[in-house]
């Protein structure tokens, strides 16, 4: 483990930025934290987390996939993706780091999504342990320990120091690059901080939330539960929960006629939208209740069923803060029996 | 602190359920915390007693829900309306969007609603409860030994700071006073943007709208947006798009929406309340309202049922296009 003083953090960031683009949470003009590219003078936000999740770096909201050019009877397919360059994302919280495991299983299994894979390959994730979790946090229900985040490098911020621990080869290489600006140290202070955070986690209002009632094999038990009607009653059908979610990964692929060719692009889609997965026979989820149910069944039942019991929620709490009607996965879980008494 | 208590509302709603005047109650349901309140339909007294809540975080405007609930629920619906909600209620009636006969509206006084983000800016994360019953909010945090006292005025939502009216313009029954129209400073921010140079103004909106994630929350909550299928969702419309193709399209969605609701927007402020990216969308709508007021005389959408917006009502005194063009010159 290595450390640097918080006073010298800016020069460490500068050093990393010499080698690759560095993104970190800074306070935006509206006061909310947003991942921004580091430049001299960037100040690391004190906010617990960003409104948008770091999934954006690997799975952007919209991206051009390819271009088609027609000449006579020939169609030329042009790969228009830009060359991927190395980049680092600093300040990723434990919940969001976990979200990459969930996205990887979707995008990196065959057929592998080469757009996503290329970014994963070039991206270095530098996580940051939480010191002041929010009442909306429930990562522990999914077995995540916010005091000990994973990632290529794990960072721990104390009152005066930033501690750096490499977990992967990529992480080792990056720590090597900033070696002159950091010093070798023991993990005493970090361990002390971890204990404090774990004690706080026990005091959080959502500490008793459990996943016991959910998981693979629960489809028939949960699908027709009458509570879905009440839970979805006020849902506006907007896409806020899905778009701020670090694990939602549904997308749509569309062709855009440029006048002299076609650009094929993909963009995030939301199961909350009325035209989601619309097929030739029409729509297979005709009411908001069915769309709403799909989102939560996917996270709590279908995904774990297909992925060795891994839930596709990390308890980051973004949907709790941002849903216009304050309906969210915690309320769904509690209503359907997800609280330990 | 609200003047009227949760208990008073539950008591009145229960009585109306009991005597058969109404079959359902559209109200606010208690959340996990004291601020994450969800609109809900209550159909019996026990659910009211167990779940109904009324405090400083009951911002949701129920008027739009009447469009769908009047179709799906059997019998009569009691709806609680704050003064600003009543304008949306009237506007929807003007547009024949729900059956007035199926609704029993109770007007309730509102002392302004709190913005949880503003509370958190003062108290930080870790809020375990918020007591709204006193003069000040009493915020309990897992990080503090004793509750933090917060002035309600410091955490009011923008729309409540600039409240345009405490008057109920539609109701079957009032709990409290009818209230008065207020002098508000709601156009001040618009005037500031008007005073900018075109480049500054462009940069201002570029910065705000570039944050848009096209979640459509603004549209979906908007009481003026009640199209059965929005053009932006309809594959047959030819302009359907789930994500902006470029930074121009980002602005196009919001500008088209603002034009579409111009003359019908009551300035209820729901769009800005729900925006996850904190974009001041209400400023677009207020610009239109201010513009119409200046060109055609004061007009408040939803003040009465059946009123015609200046944009759909021709009079001989109307401004000539040339005069509008000259005004544009001044603003440039």
List, for residues B72-81, the tens digit of each pLDDT value.
Answer: 999 999 999 9
Tell me if B233 and A244 make a contact (CB, 8 A cut-off).
no
Q: Are B122 and B150 in contact (CB under 8 A)?
A: yes
Q: Which 8-state DSSP code applies to residue A74?
A: E
Q: A26 near A33, Cβ under 8 Å?
A: yes
A94 & A22 share domain: yes
Question: Same structural domain for residues A251 and A166?
Answer: no
| Burial degree of A339 (CB within 10 A; 0-12, 13-18, 19+) | middle
**Residue B328's pLDDT is what?**
63
Q: Let me know if residue A172 belongs to a domain.
A: yes
Nearest CA in chain A to B141: A135
Residue whose C-alpha is closest to residue A149's, from A316, A338, A337: A316
- A13-37: average pLDDT: 95
Count CB neighbours of B141 within 10 A: 19
* Spatial separation of the C-alpha atoms in residues A114 and A275, rounded to whole Å: 27
Q: Is the pLDDT of residue B25 over 70?
A: yes
A152 phi, psi to nearest 5 deg = -65, -35
pLDDT at A72: 86
What pLDDT score does A283 carry? 81
For B84-143, the pLDDT digits (tens) are: 999 999 999 999 999 999 999 999 999 999 999 999 999 999 999 999 999 999 999 999
A197 and A242 together in one domain:
no
- Report if residue A225 sits inside a domain: yes
Q: Note the pLDDT of residue A341.
A: 45
- pLDDT band for B332, please (50, 70, 90 cuts): very low
Instruction: Indicate the number of domains in chain A.
Output: 2
Apex A124 CA angle, A119 and A127, nearest 5: 125
Give the mean model confidence (pLDDT) for residues B239-249.
72
CB A190 within 8 A of CB A155: no
pLDDT classification of A340: cutoffs 50, 70, 90: low
- Residue where a domain terminates, one of A203, A231, A249: A203
Residue A330 domain-assigned (yes or no): yes
Kindly state whether residues A198 and A250 are assigned to the same domain.
no
Per-residue pLDDT reduced to its tens digit, A247-289: 999 999 988 888 878 999 999 999 999 889 888 888 889 899 9
From B269, B188, B289, B187, select the one nearest B221 (Cα to Cα): B269
Give me the residue from A134, A233, A254 closest to B40, CB to CB: A233
Cβ-based neighbours of A132, under 8 Å, separated by 6 or more: A48, A200, B124, B125, B126, B143
Average pLDDT over residues A309-318: 98
B211 interface with A at CB cutoff 8 Å: yes
The pLDDT of B52-67, averaged and rounded, is 97
B198 close contact with A: CB closer than 8 A: no
Distance CA B277, CA A30 (A): 9
**What percent of chain A has pLDDT above 90?**
87
In a domain, A213, yes or no: no
Q: Which residue of B has its CA nearest to A136?
A: B126
- Give the global pTM: 0.95
Q: Quote the mean pLDDT of chain B.
A: 93
Does position B245 have pLDDT exceeding 70, yes or no? no
Q: Which of A26, A55, A67, A199 is nearest to A120 (CA)?
A: A55
Q: In a 3-state reduction of DSSP, which class is residue B137?
A: strand
Is the bond leading into B31 cis (omega within 30 degrees of zero)?
no
Domain that holds residue A21: 2-67+75-203
How confident is the model at residue B329, as a pLDDT? 56
B190 contacts: CB under 8 Å, gap ≥ 6: B283, B286, B287, B290
Tell me the nearest-neighbour CA distance from B183 into chain A, angstroms: 27
- In this predicted model, what pLDDT tens digit does every residue of A126-185 receive, in sequence order? 999 999 999 999 999 999 999 999 999 999 999 999 999 999 999 999 999 999 999 999
Interface ipTM above 0.90: yes
Q: Is the pLDDT of residue B322 over 90?
A: no
Per the DSSP assignment, residues forming a β-bridge with B130 are B139
Residues sharing a CB contact under 8 Å with residue B210, sequence separation 6 or more, in sequence order: B247, B250
Q: Are A7 and A125 contained in the same domain? A: yes
Q: What is the pLDDT of residues B185-238, one digit of tens each?
A: 999 999 999 999 999 999 999 999 989 999 999 999 999 999 988 988 887 887
Using one digit for the tens of pLDDT, what is the confidence trace for A221-243? Answer: 999 999 999 999 999 999 999 99
- For residue A134, the chain B residues in CB contact (below 8 A) are 125-126
- For residue A31, being part of any structural domain is answered with yes
């Amino acid at each position: 483990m290595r450390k640097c003083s918080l006073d010298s953090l800016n020069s460490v960031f500068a050093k990393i930025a010499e080698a690759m683009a560095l993104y970190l949470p800074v306070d935006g003009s509206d006061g909310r934290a947003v991942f921004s590219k580091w430049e001299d003078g960037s100040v690391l936000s004190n906010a617990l987390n960003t409104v948008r999740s770091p999934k954006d770096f690997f799975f952007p909201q919209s991206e051009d996939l390819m271009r088609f050019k027609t000449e006579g009877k020939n169609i030329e397919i042009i790969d228009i993706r830009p060359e991927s360059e190395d980049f680092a994302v600093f300040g990723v919280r434990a919940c969001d780091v976990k979200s990459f495991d969930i996205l990887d299983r979707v995008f990196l299994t065959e057929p592998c999504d080469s757009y996503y894979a290329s970014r994963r390959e070039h991206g270095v994730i530098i996580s940051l342990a939480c010191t002041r979790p929010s009442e909306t946090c429930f990562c522990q229900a999914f077995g995540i320990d916010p005091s000990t985040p994973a990632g290529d490098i794990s960072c721990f911020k104390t009152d005066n120091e930033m501690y750096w621990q490499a977990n992967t080869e990529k992480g080792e290489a990056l720590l090597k690059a900033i070696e002159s600006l950091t010093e070798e140290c023991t993990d005493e202070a970090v361990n002390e901080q971890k204990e404090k955070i774990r004690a706080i986690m026990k005091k959080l209002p959502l500490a008793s939330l459990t996943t016991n009632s959910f998981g693979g094999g629960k489809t028939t038990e949960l699908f027709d539960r009458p509570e879905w009607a009440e839970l979805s009653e006020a849902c506006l059908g907007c896409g806020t929960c899905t778009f701020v979610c670090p694990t939602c990964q549904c997308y749509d692929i569309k062709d855009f006629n440029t006048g002299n060719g076609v650009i094929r692009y993909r963009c995030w889609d939301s199961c909350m939208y009325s035209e989601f997965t619309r097929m030739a026979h029409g729509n297979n989820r005709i009411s908001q209740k069915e769309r709403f149910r799909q989102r939560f069944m996917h996270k709590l039942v279908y995904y774990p069923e297909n992925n060795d019991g891994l839930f596709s929620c990390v308890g980051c709490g973004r949907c709790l803060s941002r849903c216009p009607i304050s309906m969210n996965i915690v309320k769904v879980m509690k209503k359907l029996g997800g609280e330990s008494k | 602190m609200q003047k009227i208590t949760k208990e008073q509302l539950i008591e009145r709603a229960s009585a109306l359920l009991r005597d058969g005047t109404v079959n359902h109650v559209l109200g606010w349901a208690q959340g996990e915390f004291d601020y994450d309140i969800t609109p809900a339909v209550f159909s019996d007294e026990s659910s009211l007693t167990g779940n109904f809540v009324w405090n400083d975080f009951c911002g949701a405007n129920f008027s739009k829900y009447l469009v769908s609930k009047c179709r799906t629920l059997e019998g009569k619906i009691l709806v609680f309306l704050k003064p600003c909600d009543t304008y949306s209620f009237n506007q929807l009636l003007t547009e024949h969007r729900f059956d007035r006969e199926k609704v029993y509206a109770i007007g309730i006084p509102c002392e302004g609603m709190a913005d949880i983000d503003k509370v958190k800016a003062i108290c930080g994360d870790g809020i375990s409860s918020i007591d709204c019953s006193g003069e000040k909010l009493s915020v309990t945090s897992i990080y503090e030994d004793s509750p933090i006292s917060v002035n309600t005025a410091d955490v009011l939502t923008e729309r409540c700071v600039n409240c345009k009216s405490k008057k109920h313009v539609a109701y079957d029954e009032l709990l409290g006073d009818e209230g008065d129209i207020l002098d508000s400073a709601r156009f001040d921010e618009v005037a500031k943007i008007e005073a900018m140079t075109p480049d500054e103004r462009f940069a201002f909106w570029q910065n705000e709208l570039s944050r848009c994630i096209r979640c459509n929350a603004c549209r979906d909550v908007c009481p003026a947006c009640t199209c059965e299928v929005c053009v932006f969702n309809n594959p047959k419309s030819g302009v359907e798009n789930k994500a902006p193709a470029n930074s121009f399209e980002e602005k196009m969605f919001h500008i088209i929406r603002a034009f579409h609701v111009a003359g019908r927007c009551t300035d209820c402020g729901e769009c800005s309340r729900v925006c996850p990216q904190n974009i001041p969308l209400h400023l677009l709508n207020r610009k239109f309202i201010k513009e119409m007021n200046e060109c055609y005389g004061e007009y408040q959408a939803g003040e009465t049922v059946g009123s015609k917006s200046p944009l759909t009502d021709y009079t001989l005194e109307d401004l000539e296009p040339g005069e509008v063009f000259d005004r544009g010159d001044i603003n440039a």
